[in-house]
Amino acid sequence: MGEPPQQLIRDARRGKEEALLRLFDEHHLPLFRFAWRLTGSIADAEDIVQDCFVALLRPDCGFDPARTTVRTYLFGAVRNQWLKRLRRQEQRLAPEPMDHRTPETETLRNEVTRVVAGAIAELPATQREVLLLAHYEQLSLAAIAEIMQLEITAVKSRLQRARAALREILAAYAPERSGLYERQ
């Protein structure tokens, strides 16, 4: 149906803005969500996503359609941009609980949401990335392995460790114990 991404990238490099916007429209949402969950900041997530699309236009961009899909490549680019920023800012942890507050912070749902965000933020970075890609973006273990340049078995074990840690941290908030779902 649509043009292949490599054709759109070629067109965009030749100055066709609509080609870049088509790529953007197709892929920006999951990339933005991933970047936001990594950084906890809408502004930072937007910067990262824009940087990734602009980087696609550079002739030295490493995207190779024979090796990977453009979405997997872009997820990897988001991750690299985030790591770069992390090193630059020397900040250990991205999502601050305050960033996820809404005017209805008094509700249990929002309290639990903050706890969940905080619990994920407490995970070691590599476990957190695997969890975000696997749970929130529903990527396969193979795709995550490609993005993070790990073996599939390593991805699998990190995901298991992340989920085990979250189970422990969030035990008190299990739905049937907290009554969270009944109150909605």
Partner 1 sequence: MNDNELDRLLDLWEAPPPRRSLRDGLQARFPRSDRRGFASPLRWALAILLASVALAGAVAIAQSSDTLSDLPVVRTLNDLYQNFLEARQAGRAKSIVTRIAESEPQVFVDGRSVAPLEFGPAATMNVQIPGEGVYSITSYPVAERRTADGRPTGWVEAGHIHGKVIEFRAAGKQVRIECNKPIVDGDRPVFAIHRP
Residues making contact with partner 1 (CB under 8 A):
12, 15, 17-18, 20-21, 24, 28-29, 32-33, 36-37, 42, 45-46, 49-50, 53-54, 57, 100, 109, 112-113, 116-117, 120, 135-136, 163, 166-167, 170-171, 173-176, 180-181
Separation CA 56–CA 51 (nearest Å): 9
Q: Which is nearer to partner 1, 18 or 151 (CB)?
A: 18
Packed helices 5-13 and 70-89: angle between N→C axes, nearest 10 degrees: 60
- For 66, the token pair is 């024979």
Closest contact distance (angstroms) between CB of 90 and partner 1 is 25
Q: Which is nearer to partner 1, 155 or 159 (CB)?
A: 159
How many Å from the N-terminal Cα to the C-terminal Cα in the chain?
42
What is the sign of the dihedral through the CA atoms of 127, 132, 133 and 139?
positive
| Rounded least distance, CB 102 to partner 1, Å | 9
Q: Which is nearer to partner 1, 15 or 103 (CB)?
A: 15
Measured CA to CA in angstroms, residue 122 lies from 93, 117, 137, 182 at distances of 8, 9, 19, 28
Give the residue with the Cβ less far from partner 1, 42 or 83: 42
